[in-house]
Chains A and B, each alone.
Chain A
Amino acid sequence: MLKQSKSVNTANGRKLTFKPFKKPVKGLPDGFEEATWAKLQAAVRAVHNKEPVSTSLEELYKAVEDMCHHKMAESLYARLQKECDAHIASQIQRLASSSTADPVLFLDQVGAVWDDMCRQMLTIRQVFTFLDRSFVVAAPGVRSLFDMGLQQFRTHLEARPQVGEKLQRGLLQQIQTERRGDAINRQLLTNLLRMLSSLGIYSTAFEAPFLEETTQFFQEEGRRLMEELDPAGYLLHCERRLREELMRRRECLAEGTEPPLQEAVEAQLVAAHLAALLDRGFPTLVAARRLDDLARLYNLADRVDMLDPVRFAFRDHIKATGTALVMDKDKDGEMVQGLLDMKAAMDAVLQQSFEGDPDFGNTLKEAFEAFINQRQNKPAELIAKFIDAELKSGKKGQTEDQLEATLDRVLILFRYISGKDVFEAFYKKDLAKRLLLGRSASTDAEKGMIAKLKAQCGAQFTSKLEGMFKDVDLSRDIVSSFRSSTAAQARIPQGVDMNINIMTAGYWPTYPVVDAKLPAELNEYQQVFKDFYLDKHQGRRLVWHNSLGTCLLKAHFQKGPKELSVSLFQTVVLSLFNDADRLGFTDIAAATGIEDRELRRTLQSLACGKWRVLTKEPKGRDVNDGDTFVFNAGFSAQLYRIKINSIQMRETVEENTKTNEQVVQDRQHQIDAAIVRIMKTRKTLSHALLVSELLVQLKFPIRTQDMKKRIESLIDREFLARDSANSNVYQYLA
């Protein structure tokens, strides 16, 4: 209020004076506070009793404001507080004395009380807004009106523990009911849980016991269902439960409950039983290619951070099935195809169920490497043979792309094998046969294969194989120039034409030289060619390999001529019958000079097989010394050209053993060379260090036993000696 008058000088000099209103300051009427409070109290009570309020909101609002203006805020607050407190106390008391046995009804009651309280407090706060915004804000430690109400509610609730207990039981029971499959009032649940949050007692009054019950529930359920359901069904159930729990949480429970809830369910349903699930179910699921179920397993295991056990189960399964495949000696013929199929299946599982997880990928690789090397040498040999079959002519029903895809897949298997020199030995042998006997389906495919091997194993591995191809090309050139050389052509005998392959000794496999007395024309031709060749390449030595020769003969039978595709040895034998119709075994032996076993095999193929251009007396499979062979003049067949030399292509048991033995021999030499090399550099080395150094240097698997054998051999041959002072140390003897 203006107390002083103000004077202002106007433009024309007259003084203007302002005087304050002279209103007399009335003192507050007596009983102002009581009367005002009575009005307010009546309103509050009406709200609490859900009756209409007689006084208007404006008036009430002003009453509050007045009281606050007249320094009655604090006592007003106290009075209001007392009023609310009494009301809330009675509400809670009603709940405490409620005899409702049905938990749902009780929850309803609690819910109703809470709703009322909230609504009423809001209304009251509306009325007492001025108080809330002035006094409460200014005074520290004084709760806002709504909070005051909450606080009172909570206090009284805590004073009546049986209410809280009943409430808790009811809430938990609701959740269990829903878990068991029955419907509940989710809205009520949500409401009450929010109430607990607002009251600040959510964790103690609900969350902690909820989590405990959840754990127990799923512990029991997990155990029960593990007995009742098969693994795939169980996993499905886990997935469903997790989904349900999380959805309920999202709708009804506080956000903070989600992590512990999820953890509890996962721990009880998944983690606790994962080992048993893997044990019981993993192999069957994989074997039955249940990719979806496996994906589910992977996801669930990932959630509980237990991917490692799954990975080990994967590894063990691969090892078990793989070992069974590889070790079954009766099923060697199907091993490679079986391995290819298995690899494809495991790859599908890896990609589709395990999300291409790199750790699982590594485990797959390691597991394959482990089992495939359980059996020494055989897998490598069989893979080489498989590729041989693919690359040979007569293999029908594949496009180029399909062939390439197959070869790529086989090479992946090859990569797992540790003794690659066995593969090389067999591959070389088979390749040589294909090249020399003209059995390759496609040179492009052959060269492509070499390129793949080179990329995998390095140039050194394939250098000899490439050399073989070069030899074939060079031979073609030489033969062509031989054919165009008039001088040479003049000297060759009539009626013979030869195609010759010159093999550089180091590239090709070694073949035993089997002598035979060739027909004169063949000898002559060979001599002319030899002269021609050595003329161009002095200083070289040529050795004819009869066992590899093939011929195309024109044979005249009674029913007409035929072309016979035969081996050189078969030719030598057959040409004897140009001069005689019947010949005894011993005569043939003498005339051909062919080694005994080879001769018998040759005669067998001519007289005892499918195409009998000779007949044997007496009949029978075996060729005995006393047998006689007769030219089968009456021979007939559908085709004009008949192949009788398929025995050349087939691998004999001896050949196989020989190749394997050669690998063993080569390895021994390599070990010896490595030992000498190491010892020469180091001069003196302990046994343990020598062994570890060898394991690093040698590219094939080797046992310590084998190393010791070679060391002892070298000691015997005086390359090494044991150190006189320390028996575990070797000395290099220069």
Chain B
Amino acid sequence: MMKRAKKAMGGAANRAAGGSSALFEQYCDPATDEIGPEGRKFLRTLHLMPINLCVLAVLLSLMLAVHAGVERFCSDINTDPSDRKVLLLAWKMRAKRMGFFSREEFQSGLTALKATTTAQIQRALPGLEEQVECNPDSFRDFCTFAFKYCLTEPSQKLIDIDTAVTMLAIVMPREPLMPRFCDFLKEQTEYKVINFDQWTSFLRFAQEVKPDLSNYRDEDAWPILLDNFVEWGRRNADRPIDFT
């Protein structure tokens, strides 16, 4: 409650506070020492929900009148929680749990951005986008992170189709093959989950294969999922893409 009162001061007033640590404390939950969507009860419900709803819940604005830490943080940097930039931030911070930033993660992330205030963070965001856009290694790293970010259980190795589709749209919005691949994933029934190998293979696929699929060779070592995609893609070449 005390921390909430402090929040009223707003981001600009933080300059005086100095350091990312102070910034962190503006948003964190003292009980857990991490920034997250507040409300234990809500958390527990989250864990019971299927993972895709988890993602939606975290990245979309909450309808609850609870000023959760992540949401506040996002609004202070003038970014919608479902925006790609948030995921980029999470990547920079090497966040392990979706929807939460630990102290170390938050601080190391801000250090990497050379930012201590929300304004600085905000200014650093376009640079982040550019980095991922222009540097293929960074992009690959970002995509890899995105997959692992979706794994909530300790031994979990797979993400379900809906999560995959949502993530792909966030991670590579401008990739011409992405919408069709997502269509395909939703339509096919052979695979209900995607593993890491398939995820990284699609990344490579997007880089190497032309949008008209003409240079694809199925005698190469592509996973069967992608063989199926190419077959589907060739069969449905004339179909308009479903953007729903």
* CB-nearest residue of chain A to B195: A716
Contacts A688-B219, A716-B195, A716-B197; A709 near B224 (Cβ below 8 A): yes
Contacts A715-B197, A722-B197, A727-B204; A708 near B224 (Cβ below 8 A): yes
The residues of B that contact A456 with a CB separation of less than 8 Å are: none
B224–A712 contact, CB under 8 A? Answer: yes
For the complex, is B160 an interface residue (Cβ under 8 Å from A)?
Answer: no
A687–B221 contact, CB under 8 A? Answer: yes
B219–A722 contact, CB under 8 A? Answer: no
B contacts with A: majority SS: mixed
Contact with B along A663-690 (1 / 0, CB 8 A): 0000000000000000000000001100
For the complex, is A705 an interface residue (Cβ under 8 Å from B)?
Answer: yes
Contact of B221 among A705, A716, A730 (CB under 8 A): A730
Measured CA separation A722–B204 after assembly (Å): 12
The residues of B that contact A704 with a CB separation of less than 8 Å are: 219
The residues of A that contact B220 with a CB separation of less than 8 Å are: 687, 727-728
Contact of A727 among B157, B219, B221, B227 (CB under 8 A): B221
Measured CA separation A712–B201 after assembly (Å): 12
The residues of B that contact A715 with a CB separation of less than 8 Å are: 197
CB within 8 Å of B: which of A677-734? 687-688, 691, 704-705, 708-709, 711-712, 715-716, 722, 727-730
The residues of B that contact A691 with a CB separation of less than 8 Å are: 219
The residues of B that contact A727 with a CB separation of less than 8 Å are: 201, 204, 220-221
The residues of B that contact A712 with a CB separation of less than 8 Å are: 197, 223-224
* CB-nearest residue of chain A to B220: A728
The residues of B that contact A730 with a CB separation of less than 8 Å are: 221
Measured CA separation A727–B224 after assembly (Å): 14
Contact with A along B193-221 (1 / 0, CB 8 A): 00101000100100000000000000111
Closest CB in chain A relative to B216 CB, distance in Å: 13
* CB-nearest residue of chain B to A728: B221
The residues of B that contact A716 with a CB separation of less than 8 Å are: 157, 195, 197
CB within 8 Å of A: which of B42-78? none
Measured CA separation A708–B223 after assembly (Å): 7
* CB-nearest residue of chain A to B198: A712
Measured CA separation A36–B217 after assembly (Å): 105
Measured CA separation A716–B201 after assembly (Å): 13
The residues of A that contact B227 with a CB separation of less than 8 Å are: 705, 708
The residues of A that contact B201 with a CB separation of less than 8 Å are: 722, 727
Measured CA separation A106–B220 after assembly (Å): 82
The residues of A that contact B224 with a CB separation of less than 8 Å are: 705, 708-709, 712
Closest CB in chain A relative to B187 CB, distance in Å: 20
The residues of B that contact A705 with a CB separation of less than 8 Å are: 224, 227
Closest CB in chain B relative to A153 CB, distance in Å: 79
Contact with B along A216-249 (1 / 0, CB 8 A): 0000000000000000000000000000000000
Measured CA separation A360–B100 after assembly (Å): 76
Closest CB in chain A relative to B236 CB, distance in Å: 21
Measured CA separation A691–B222 after assembly (Å): 13
The residues of B that contact A708 with a CB separation of less than 8 Å are: 221, 223-224, 227
Closest CB in chain B relative to A156 CB, distance in Å: 80
Measured CA separation A722–B195 after assembly (Å): 14
Measured CA separation A712–B225 after assembly (Å): 10
Measured CA separation A730–B227 after assembly (Å): 18
- A688-B219, A709-B224, A729-B221 known; 11 new pairs, CB 8 Å cut-off, are A691-B219, A708-B223, A712-B197, A712-B223, A715-B197, A716-B195, A722-B201, A727-B201, A727-B204, A727-B220, A728-B220
A residues apposed to B, CB below 8 Å: 687-688, 691, 704-705, 708-709, 711-712, 715-716, 722, 727-730
Q: Which 10 A-B pairs have the closest CB atoms?
A: A687-B221, A728-B221, A715-B197, A708-B224, A728-B220, A712-B223, A727-B204, A716-B195, A709-B224, A687-B220
